[in-house]
């Protein structure tokens, strides 16, 4: 299930926010109502999807400093040249540096169930959306005395487009700084210009109720991320996941097609074999 | 026949050097004619040390180098720089270094630094190690050679020292069987006349002994060590050079000067034989010696596929540049949009215009795609070749147990070419034939002796003879000889000719003609006899002569000894000594030889043997026995035997004395000696009385007709190029099934007619020459060849004439060019048109025999065919006269036969027998070609299939040259992930077994037509690879676009791993499907590939590696995360299936529908038409009843000159008192036959 909330159509509630820019201070909020026809029985994964966004642009991909993200103190204050032109701002090193970090997705999505005119917020879990390797190996906060991230990140400045510095991404200490999972997910660049990224998890609370029951919902978007300039689209996707991933028509169709072709070829070859095969069997050269 | 056969030995000597170079040197030196500047003073080391010469800039070194040699290229310090320098001579390596340097520029660095550096480093290391091992071997052999012991005169006596201590001007003492350490002037030896015997096996491979002789003056004067020490001669000679067989210089001593030639020189590398001691003065030492000067670089022959491969690499490179260019242009266009619209990217474009962006992208793409250039192909290729050569060496089917000779691939880079041969140029003597003559039959006084065709062979042996009571050959003969203190070599004693009746007749001794016949055989020859212990060993100039003398011996007329003017024979046990009055030697024009003897009774008789035509026209009378002999000759000729007529006459005392006087006068004539003598000989050889005729079998090697038959079935044309006469050549042609009775034979006249007709019509229509050139021959040609097979027999003279017309035409062309430059091109075309016409004619014939051709012409013919037909040629021969041809042809094969090793040393492959050629070509050649082609196909396929996805990815990443794969995957893909199965295909693939290959020679055609690898196949491979990469890429792309999942959600790393895995697996499966011949190795190789992939993925993506160097190992756990996702596995499976289905279907279709499968077609054909039997049978010549008789003398004159001069004959009495010879008067004599050890 997916909702496009870019707001290019004038009728869309988010149309008013279409022309937000990176440095607009006032957040623009819009709400989209939608109806789930079927209930989601198991855990639900919430994704955001962007299209026509070239996260695989070579110079964009390179524009990061893995050492800095890995908690290296010297790289923190002296980021790699790869980060240019997002390496320093006003003579202060940017943490995290680079174009990827700078363009981090910063819409906030909230989901409410509309039940009998009342809106019930649905708990969205922000942790567990990144790879274990990323969270524990690749991304680490700088080390130093104490756990005060503010102190650790002293001497650095926030990325240009960010409203707040990296050590204020989240309130929980194990989800803050470089190991903020939203940040990690964003930093794992997509392979294609149309991509989805995991945003939140909705866990099933008990065995009696479905995770998301069929009904009306409203999606409240804090619209910060400008995509209109490059004809990008933003979507919100809800999906459950079976053992082989989410619902996906492509693989099924492909397998059915290939299977039929195989079958067809098999029949054709069988016919050929019956018709002409006998003539040559005696002439085979045994090796 | 105007061609002098005596030129053969000279040609042989000349052929040592590459002809062009040798002649060039001569001309240059003759032109200058400056005095010699190389001066050597005996026993004066200090004199030589003072000279220096410049060699580079202002550096100097000693003019006279020491005797230490250094062939090793590197030492510890210079190895690295020199080896790298050498390796970077390869364009590919330089290119990759260039790309690696480009990568250091951050703007365009698209690949991580290790991606190209790692494989390049691996390749450089492998090759470097190989060079290192080679060089260590060279160091060792240098050390061994330099520390060989030798005796050098220092002070007053000889001391044992090492080779490296020898200096120019030293006097060295050599002992029996030691190697000559430097080029030396022979001063004296322990032998009479200071003769000195050397074996030059190390230099030219010839194992027969050659003799060198010291100057008379040094021989007489230098008798003691004191006199040696006091020797102060001065030698002035030419500067060191590479001409092995020429030397000019003078020795000045005691105010006199003596001229020196190569007969006085002992060359470094020779081995002293049969000489106890000899003394020499060192003239050239170390690198100045002739053998070292001759160590040139071997020019590597390139095969068709080599050249194709080089061209393909260039094509790939150009395509790569073009692709980069297109992608760069696209990136420029995109840059504009990115800059304007994509706010998150625009900062990256702040300081660059789209054009600059495109420029950077171009280089970026060049780097990115450079991985497609198959860098590791060359080294893998070399390895494939090397191992395939080992297979040839190891093949037991090509091992000749009789002489313990295996086949040997001397060149390791031509195996595939063996599968593409279209023309074979074969020598005759020693190649098709064994060069062993056996006395088969004879006709004496009208009676034919000798077994008929169907006689039991056992009967022929002397066991049978003993049963018949004719026991004296084995029994009496030794008795007789024991009286003389001699016995025969019993082990070689084999009475392999069947002449029971003849033996009987000889024993009865009743027929005077028979007696004369056998006496002639024992007397009229130039064979030398040597006692070897208690055995007699005959040394003959030609094997025919030996056969005749041996036959006489077996029949009781034993040739015992020869002095300058006597011949001693034992006639049925009776020892008689004949006085030789004159020897009328053989020449190719006379085609006969005679000997004039006075028998013990005092009668003078002339004994003549010669070609039948020559003898028959000099007969006294023609009676019934003569007529019968002629019939017998016809009969012998039909059995492909070589025939010879024997005649004799009595000479009166008066006639002899007058003739002898004139002969004496003529033989001292200063000029015109030869024609005068010839006239005298002619006078003597008249009114002969025919004694009979002999028939000698020139034995074919085993399996020659079958081999030629098979090769012909394999669509290989066999041309015989021989120095022999036409009759002999044609005979052999029939014997070995090259010519068949249903062939129309084109000889001199027909060839001239055809060419003339062609030429005339060509000249008349010179304006429309171009159009006519193809049209003229062809109306005749296909018409003729359609109806009957034709064979072309051409002699060297005619060939010369044909090619001379061309020369003349070129001359005219030059003239015309002077007159009117505009027509010059036309006439040049005319020149090559004659050649082309000839080649067209010759190639349209089923068989071509060129007789009486010189070594140079042999090479010329090969070159002609190569030039005009663009085919792959193979030359096979055994003698030094084949060297030119062997070097010219695409592949040279040397037969290790009786004629020394020269041919083998210049060849690419050495075989023991001609018949092994069928296995070499039809099995190894075909497999080699198949393997190399499949290898190339697989290699290119895997490269394209694996790495072209990068191009497709560019379309989805805004043309920014973002690499699709991880750096380590790219680095390891070619070397570790896919090299192994491709290698196993190249090493072991075969389509049908060796047995089937030989059974169906028609399969060979695929190689001749370049069917398995050409531009078309390359194109198909390219498309196949491209489609595989397309499928792998787009299936992954579509699958990831709409995918949601917990782990791999379309992120770059998972995507890269997915595409990489599906491409790799598709490639492996494709190779598995393509492999027809499965061995344990193939299985291991495929497994190894997969294991490598897993292992290296694990290592390079491990967390620890990332912690170690986060910028080098960027993909921690990417594979593990991606490949544990079932969804990704399903995607991989899907693309695998999609990639495999088409090729699987096509293969199944081919095998089931029986479509275009050559093997099967041929099988069917073979079933329908059984192979024609290949049995040797006599043939009846068509048309004229021309006999194919021949005087089977070989090309050289005999030793008559040497015998009558008596120089070399060591009479037992004269051993202690050497004869004095005037050195200047001794003309070059043929090598002295001496018993080999």
Answer whether A244 sits within 8 Å of B1126, measured CB to CB.
yes
- Check whether the bond before A85 is cis (ω within 30° of 0): yes
Split at pLDDT 50, 70, 90, the class of B809 is: low
Q: Are A166 and A96 in contact (CB under 8 A)?
A: yes
- The gap from C-alpha B608 to its chain's centroid, in whole angstroms, comes to 40
Q: Closest CB to A239: pick one of B1044, B1051, B1056.
A: B1044
- Alpha-carbon distance of A231 to A194, in angstroms, equals 12
pLDDT score for B532: 67
From A81's Cα to the closest Cα of chain B, the distance in A is 10
Split at pLDDT 50, 70, 90, the class of B498 is: very low
What token pair was written down for B875? 């030359």
| Model confidence at B953: pLDDT above 90 | yes
For residue B1009, give the DSSP letter. Answer: T
Secondary structure of B1146-1172 as H, E, C letters:
HHHHHHHHCCCCHHHHHHHHHHHCCCC
Answer whether B1052 sits within 8 Å of A188, measured CB to CB.
yes
In angstroms, how far apart are the furthest CA atoms of chain B? 127
Side-chain-side CA neighbours of residue B58 (13 Å): 0
The least confident of B307-311, B327-331, B534-538 is B534-538
Q: Are B366 and B321 in contact (CB under 8 A)?
A: yes
What token pair was written down for B847? 């068989």
pLDDT score for B1229: 37
| Model confidence at B25: pLDDT above 50 | no
Split at pLDDT 50, 70, 90, the class of B148 is: confident
Q: Tokens 């000759």 appear where?
A: B633
Q: Are B600 and B571 in contact (CB under 8 A)?
A: no
Answer whether A99 sits within 8 Å of B348, measured CB to CB.
yes
Considering only CB atoms, which chain A residues are within 8 Å of B1163? 283-285
| Model confidence at B1198: pLDDT above 60 | no
| Model confidence at B112: pLDDT above 80 | yes
| B911-952 confidence digits (pLDDT tens) | 888 889 989 999 999 999 999 999 999 999 999 998 899 999
Residue of A nearest to B1132 (CA): A251
Considering only CB atoms, which chain B residues are within 8 Å of A284? 1160, 1163
| Model confidence at B553: pLDDT above 50 | yes
Split at pLDDT 50, 70, 90, the class of B1132 is: very high
Long-range contacts of B621-624 (CB under 8 A, 24+ apart): B624/B446
From B992's Cα to the closest Cα of chain A, the distance in A is 6
In chain B, the percentage of residues whose pLDDT exceeds 90 is: 10
| Model confidence at A277: pLDDT above 90 | no
Q: Tokens 């004095």 appear where?
A: B1220
- Alpha-carbon distance of B935 to B878, in angstroms, equals 34
In chain A, the percentage of residues whose pLDDT exceeds 90 is: 7
Tell me whether residue A10 is in a domain.
Answer: yes
Split at pLDDT 50, 70, 90, the class of B467 is: very low
Tell me whether residue A247 is in a domain.
Answer: no
Determine the structural domain holding residue A119 and report its residue range. Answer: 2-241
Q: Tokens 């192994």 appear where?
A: B980
Got the DSSP string for B489-555?
-GGG----S--HHHHHHHHHT--HHHHHHHHHHHHSS--EEEEETTEEEEE-SSHHHHHHHHHHHHT
- CB neighbour burial string for B194-220, b if at least 16 within 10 angstroms, e if fewer: bbbbbbbeebbbbebbbbbbbbbbbbe
Q: Which of B368, B1035, B1044 to mutate to test the interface with A (most CBs of A within 10 A)?
A: B1044
Q: What is the pTM of this model?
A: 0.78
**Among B680, B622, B600, B686, residue whose Cα is nearest residue B650:** B686
Alpha helices in B820-901 (DSSP H): 824-844, 855-869, 883-888
The least confident of A276-280, B518-522, B614-618 is A276-280
β-partners of residue A92 are A89
Answer whether B1167 sits within 8 Å of A66, measured CB to CB.
no
pLDDT score for B1159: 53
What lies within 8 Å, CB to CB, of B1109 at 6+ separation is none
- Alpha-carbon distance of B897 to B918, in angstroms, equals 18
| Model confidence at B465: pLDDT above 50 | no
What lies within 8 Å, CB to CB, of B266 at 6+ separation is B174, B180, B183, B184, B185, B186, B196, B198, B212, B272, B278, B280
β-partners of residue B212 are B196
Got the DSSP string for A237-280?
EEEE-BTTBS--HHHHHHHHHHHHHHHHHHHHHHHHHHHHHHHH
β-partners of residue B256 are B253
Tell me whether residue A285 is in a domain.
Answer: no
In angstroms, how far apart are the furthest CA atoms of chain A? 86
- The gap from C-alpha B1154 to its chain's centroid, in whole angstroms, comes to 41
| Model confidence at B201: pLDDT above 70 | no
Considering only CB atoms, which chain B residues are within 8 Å of A250? 1038-1039, 1041-1042
Alpha helices in chain A (DSSP H): 58-62, 66-69, 73-77, 99-102, 132-133, 149-152, 181-187, 249-281
Q: Which of A191, A224, A277 to mutate to test the interface with B (most CBs of B within 10 A)?
A: A191
Average pLDDT rounded to a whole number, residues B340-366: 84
**Among B880, B883, B796, B870, residue whose Cα is nearest residue B839:** B870
| Model confidence at B24: pLDDT above 70 | no
- Alpha-carbon distance of A161 to B323, in angstroms, equals 37
Answer whether B1049 sits within 8 Å of A191, measured CB to CB.
no
What lies within 8 Å, CB to CB, of B922 at 6+ separation is B710, B711, B714, B997, B998, B1001, B1003, B1004
CB-based burial label for B583 (10 Å; 0-12, 13-18, 19+): buried
Secondary structure of B135-182 as H, E, C letters:
HHHHHHHHHHHHCCEEEEEECCEEEEEEHHHCCCCCEEEEECCCECCC
CB-based burial label for B506 (10 Å; 0-12, 13-18, 19+): buried
| Model confidence at B1160: pLDDT above 90 | no
Q: Closest CB to A133: pick one of B962, B1116, B1160.
A: B1116
Got the DSSP string for B272-326?
EES-SEEEEEEEE-GGGSHHHHT--PPPPP--HHHHHHHHHHHHHHHHHHHHHHH
**Among B1200, B902, B662, residue whose Cα is nearest residue B894:** B902
What token pair was written down for B26? 């001569």
| Model confidence at B395: pLDDT above 80 | yes
pLDDT score for B10: 36
β-partners of residue B209 are B199
Answer whether B364 sits within 8 Å of A66, measured CB to CB.
no
Residue ranges of E strands in B878-997: 891-895, 909-911
| B1007-1029 confidence digits (pLDDT tens) | 888 888 889 999 999 999 999 99
What lies within 8 Å, CB to CB, of B1042 at 6+ separation is A248, A249, A250
Give the number of other CB atoms < 10 A from CB of residue A104.
Answer: 20
| B1046-1069 confidence digits (pLDDT tens) | 666 788 888 999 999 999 999 999
Q: Tokens 């190697």 appear where?
A: B179
Considering only CB atoms, which chain B residues are within 8 Å of A67? 1110-1111
From A12's Cα to the closest Cα of chain B, the distance in A is 23
Tell me whether residue A266 is in a domain.
Answer: no
| B744-778 confidence digits (pLDDT tens) | 777 777 777 777 777 666 555 443 443 333 334 44
Answer whether A191 sits within 8 Å of B1052, measured CB to CB.
yes
**Among B1008, B1000, B489, residue whose Cα is nearest residue B717:** B1008
The helix/strand/coil state of A233 is strand
Split at pLDDT 50, 70, 90, the class of A278 is: low
In this prediction, the answer to ipTM > 0.85 reads yes
Cα–Cα distances in angstroms (integers) from residue B399 to residues B403, B700, B913, B914, B915, in the given order: 9, 19, 9, 12, 11
Q: Which of B344, B996, B1059 to mutate to test the interface with A (most CBs of A within 10 A)?
A: B344
Tell me whether residue A283 is in a domain.
Answer: no
Split at pLDDT 50, 70, 90, the class of B1188 is: very low
Answer whether A191 sits within 8 Å of B1035, measured CB to CB.
no
From B522's Cα to the closest Cα of chain A, the distance in A is 59
| Model confidence at B486: pLDDT above 50 | no
Tell me whether residue A105 is in a domain.
Answer: yes
> How many structural domains compose chain A?
1
Tell me whether residue A253 is in a domain.
Answer: no
The least confident of A105-109, B311-315, B849-853, B1097-1101 is B849-853
pLDDT score for B749: 75
Tell me whether residue A68 is in a domain.
Answer: yes
Answer whether A258 sits within 8 Å of B1138, measured CB to CB.
yes
From A61's Cα to the closest Cα of chain B, the distance in A is 8
Side-chain-side CA neighbours of residue B102 (13 Å): 20
**Among A3, A37, A194, A24, residue whose Cα is nearest residue A111:** A3
Average pLDDT rounded to a whole number, residues B1097-1107: 87
- CB neighbour burial string for B835-867, b if at least 16 within 10 angstroms, e if fewer: bbbbbbbbbbbbbbbbbbbbbbbbbbbbbbbbe
- Residues of B carrying an active site annotation: 427
- Alpha-carbon distance of B1039 to B1049, in angstroms, equals 10
**Among A278, A281, A273, A274, residue whose Cα is nearest residue B1163:** A281
| Model confidence at B850: pLDDT above 90 | no
pLDDT score for B1153: 61
The helix/strand/coil state of B848 is strand
Average pLDDT rounded to a whole number, residues B360-373: 89
| Model confidence at B146: pLDDT above 90 | no
Element (H, E) at B802: helix B796-819
Average pLDDT over all residues of chain B: 76
- Alpha-carbon distance of B362 to A252, in angstroms, equals 39
The helix/strand/coil state of A211 is coil
CA dihedral (B899, B900, B906, B907) positive or negative: positive
Cα–Cα distances in angstroms (integers) from residue B236 to residues A172, B66, B255, B513, B556, in the given order: 101, 18, 14, 61, 56
């Amino acid at each position: 299930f997916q909702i496009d909330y870019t707001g290019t159509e004038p009728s869309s509630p988010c149309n008013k926010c279409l022309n937000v820019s990176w440095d607009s201070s006032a957040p623009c909020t819009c709400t989209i109502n939608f109806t789930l026809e079927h209930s989601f029985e198991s855990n639900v994964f919430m994704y955001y999807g962007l299209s026509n966004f070239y996260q695989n642009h070579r110079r964009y991909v390179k524009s990061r400093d893995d050492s800095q993200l890995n908690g290296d103190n010297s790289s923190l204050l002296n980021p790699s040249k790869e980060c240019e032109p997002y390496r320093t701002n006003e003579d202060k090193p940017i943490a995290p540096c680079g174009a990827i970090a700078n363009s981090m997705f910063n819409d906030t999505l909230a989901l409410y169930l509309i039940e009998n005119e009342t809106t019930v917020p649905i708990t969205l879990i922000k942790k567990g959306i990144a790879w274990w390797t990323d969270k524990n190996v690749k991304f680490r906060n700088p080390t130093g005395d104490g756990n005060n991230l503010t102190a650790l990140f002293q001497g650095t400045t926030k990325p240009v487009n960010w409203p707040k510095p990296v050590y204020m991404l989240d309130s929980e200490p194990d989800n803050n700084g470089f190991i903020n999972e939203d940040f990690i997910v964003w930093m794992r660049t997509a392979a294609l210009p149309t991509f989805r990224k995991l945003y939140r998890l909705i866990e099933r609370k008990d065995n009696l109720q479905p995770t998301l029951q069929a009904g009306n919902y409203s999606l409240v978007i804090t619209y910060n991320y400008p995509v209109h300039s490059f004809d990008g689209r933003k979507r919100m996707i809800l999906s459950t996941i079976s053992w082989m991933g989410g619902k996906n028509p492509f693989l099924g169709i492909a397998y059915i097609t290939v299977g039929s072709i195989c079958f067809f070829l098999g029949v054709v070859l069988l016919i050929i074999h019956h018709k002409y095969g006998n003539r040559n069997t005696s002439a085979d050269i045994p090796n | 026949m105007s061609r002098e056969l005596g030129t053969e030995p000279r040609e042989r000597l000349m052929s040592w050097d590459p002809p062009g170079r040798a002649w060039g040197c001569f001309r240059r030196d003759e032109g200058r004619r400056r005095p010699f500047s190389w001066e050597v003073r005996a026993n004066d080391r200090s004199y030589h040390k003072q000279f220096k010469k410049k060699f580079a800039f202002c550096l100097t070194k000693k003019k006279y180098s020491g005797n230490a040699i250094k062939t090793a290229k590197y030492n510890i310090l210079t190895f690295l720089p020199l080896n790298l320098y050498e390796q970077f001579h390869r364009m590919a390596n330089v290119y990759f270094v260039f790309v690696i340097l480009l990568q250091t520029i951050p703007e365009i660095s698209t690949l991580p630094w290790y991606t190209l550096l790692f494989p390049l480093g691996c390749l450089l290391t492998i090759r470097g190690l190989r060079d290192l091992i080679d060089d260590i071997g060279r160091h060792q052999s240098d050390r061994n050679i330099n520390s060989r012991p030798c005796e050098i005169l220092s002070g007053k006596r000889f001391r044992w020292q090492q080779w490296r201590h020898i200096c120019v001007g030293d006097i060295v003492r050599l002992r029996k069987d030691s190697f000559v350490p430097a080029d030396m002037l022979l001063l004296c030896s322990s032998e009479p006349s200071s003769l000195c015997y050397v074996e030059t096996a190390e230099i030219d491979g010839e194992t027969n002994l050659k003799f060198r002789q010291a100057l008379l003056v040094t021989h007489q004067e230098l008798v003691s060590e004191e006199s040696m020490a006091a020797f102060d001669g001065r030698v002035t000679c030419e500067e060191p050079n590479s001409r092995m067989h020429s030397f000019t210089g003078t020795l000045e001593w005691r105010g006199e000067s003596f001229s020196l030639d190569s007969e006085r020189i002992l060359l470094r590398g020779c081995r002293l034989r049969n000489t106890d001691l000899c003394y020499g003065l060192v003239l050239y030492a170390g690198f100045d010696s002739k053998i070292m000067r001759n160590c040139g670089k071997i020019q590597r022959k390139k095969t068709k596929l080599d050249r194709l491969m080089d061209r393909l690499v260039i094509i790939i490179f150009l395509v790569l540049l073009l692709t980069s260019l297109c992608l760069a242009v696209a990136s420029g266009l995109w840059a504009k949009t990115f800059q304007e619209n994509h706010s998150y990217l625009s900062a990256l474009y702040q300081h660059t215009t789209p054009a600059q962006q495109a420029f950077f992208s171009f280089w970026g793409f060049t780097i990115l795609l450079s991985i497609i250039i198959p860098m590791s192909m060359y080294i893998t290729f070399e390895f494939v070749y090397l191992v395939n050569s080992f297979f040839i060496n190891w093949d037991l089917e090509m091992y000749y147990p009789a002489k313990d000779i295996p086949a040997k691939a001397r060149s390791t880079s031509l195996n595939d070419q063996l599968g593409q041969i279209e023309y074979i140029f074969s020598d005759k003597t020693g190649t098709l034939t064994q060069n062993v003559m056996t006395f088969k039959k004879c006709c004496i006084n009208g009676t034919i002796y000798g077994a008929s065709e169907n006689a039991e062979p056992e009967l022929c042996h002397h066991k049978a003879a003993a049963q018949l009571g004719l026991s004296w050959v084995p029994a009496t003969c030794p008795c007789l000889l024991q009286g003389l203190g001699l016995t025969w070599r019993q082990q070689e004693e084999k009475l392999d000719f069947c002449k029971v009746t003849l033996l009987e007749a000889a024993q009865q001794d009743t027929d005077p003609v028979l007696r004369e016949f056998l006496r002639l055989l024992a007397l009229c020859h130039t064979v030398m006899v040597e006692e070897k212990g208690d055995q007699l060993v005959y040394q003959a100039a030609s094997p025919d002569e030996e056969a005749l003398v041996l036959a006489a011996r077996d029949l009781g007329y034993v040739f015992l000894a020869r002095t300058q003017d006597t011949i001693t024979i034992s006639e049925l046990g009776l020892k008689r000594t004949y006085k030789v009055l004159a020897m009328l030697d053989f020449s190719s024009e006379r085609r006969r030889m005679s000997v004039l003897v006075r028998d013990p009774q005092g009668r003078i008789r002339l004994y003549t043997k010669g070609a039948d035509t020559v003898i028959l026209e000099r007969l006294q009378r023609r009676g019934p026995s003569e007529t019968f002999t002629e019939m017998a000759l016809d009969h012998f000729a039909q059995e492909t035997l070589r025939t010879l007529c024997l005649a004799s006459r009595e000479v009166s005392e008066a006639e002899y004395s007058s003739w002898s006087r004139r002969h004496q006068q003529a033989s001292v004539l200063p000029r015109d000696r030869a024609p005068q003598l010839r006239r005298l000989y002619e006078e003597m050889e008249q009114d002969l009385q025919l004694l009979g005729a002999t028939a000698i079998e020139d034995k074919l090697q085993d399996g020659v007709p079958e081999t030629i038959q098979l090769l012909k079935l394999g669509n290989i044309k066999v041309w015989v190029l021989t120095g022999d006469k036409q009759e002999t050549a044609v005979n052999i042609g029939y014997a070995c099934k090259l010519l068949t009775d249903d062939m129309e034979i084109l000889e001199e006249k027909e060839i001239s007619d055809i060419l003339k007709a062609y030429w005339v019509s060509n000249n008349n229509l010179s304006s429309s020459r171009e159009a006519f050139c193809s049209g003229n021959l062809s109306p005749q040609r296909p018409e003729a060849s359609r109806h009957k097979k034709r064979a072309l027999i051409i002699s060297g003279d005619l060939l010369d004439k044909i090619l001379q017309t061309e020369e003349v035409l070129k001359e005219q062309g030059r003239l015309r060019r002077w007159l009117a430059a505009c027509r010059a091109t036309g006439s040049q075309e005319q020149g090559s048109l004659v050649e082309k016409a000839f080649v067209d004619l010759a190639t349209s014939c089923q068989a071509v025999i060129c007789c009486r051709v010189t070594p140079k012409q042999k090479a010329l013919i090969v070159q002609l065919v190569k030039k005009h037909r663009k085919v792959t040629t193979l030359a096979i021969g055994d003698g030094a006269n084949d060297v030119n041809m062997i070097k010219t042809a695409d592949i040279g094969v040397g037969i290790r036969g009786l004629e020394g090793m020269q041919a083998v040393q210049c060849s690419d492959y050495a075989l023991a027998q001609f018949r092994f050629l069928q296995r070499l070509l039809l099995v190894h050649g075909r497999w080699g070609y198949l393997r190399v082609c499949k290898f190339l196909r697989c290699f290119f396929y895997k490269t394209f299939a694996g790495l072209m996805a990068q191009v497709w990815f560019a379309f989805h990443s805004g043309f920014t040259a973002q690499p699709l794969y991880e750096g380590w995957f790219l680095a390891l893909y070619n070397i570790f992930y896919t090299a192994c199965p491709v290698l196993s295909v190249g090493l072991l693939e075969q389509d049908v077994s060796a047995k089937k290959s030989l059974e169906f020679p028609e399969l060979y055609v695929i190689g001749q037509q370049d069917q398995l690898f050409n531009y078309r196949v390359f194109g198909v491979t390219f498309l196949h690879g491209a489609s595989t990469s397309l499928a792998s890429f787009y299936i992954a792309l579509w699958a990831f676009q709409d995918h949601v999942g917990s782990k791999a959600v379309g992120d770059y790393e998972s995507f890269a791993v997915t595409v990489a895995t599906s491409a790799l697996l598709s490639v492996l499966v494709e190779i598995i499907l393509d492999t027809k011949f499965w061995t344990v190795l193939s299985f291991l190789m495929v497994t190894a590939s997969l294991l490598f992939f897993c292992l290296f993925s694990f290592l390079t993506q491990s967390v620890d590696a990332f912690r170690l160097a986060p910028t080098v190992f960027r993909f921690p756990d990417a594979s593990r995360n991606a490949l544990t996702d079932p969804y990704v596995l399903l995607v991989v499976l899907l693309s695998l299936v999609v990639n495999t289905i088409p090729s699987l279907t096509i293969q199944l279709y081919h095998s089931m529908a029986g479509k275009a499968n050559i093997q099967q077609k041929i099988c069917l054909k073979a079933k329908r038409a059984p192979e024609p039997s290949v049995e040797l049978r006599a043939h009846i010549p068509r048309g004229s009843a021309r006999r194919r008789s021949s005087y089977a003398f070989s090309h050289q004159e005999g030793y008559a000159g040497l015998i009558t001069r008596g120089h070399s004959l060591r009479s037992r009495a004269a051993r202690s008192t050497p004869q004095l010879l005037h050195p200047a008067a001794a003309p070059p004599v043929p090598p002295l036959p001496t018993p080999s050890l």
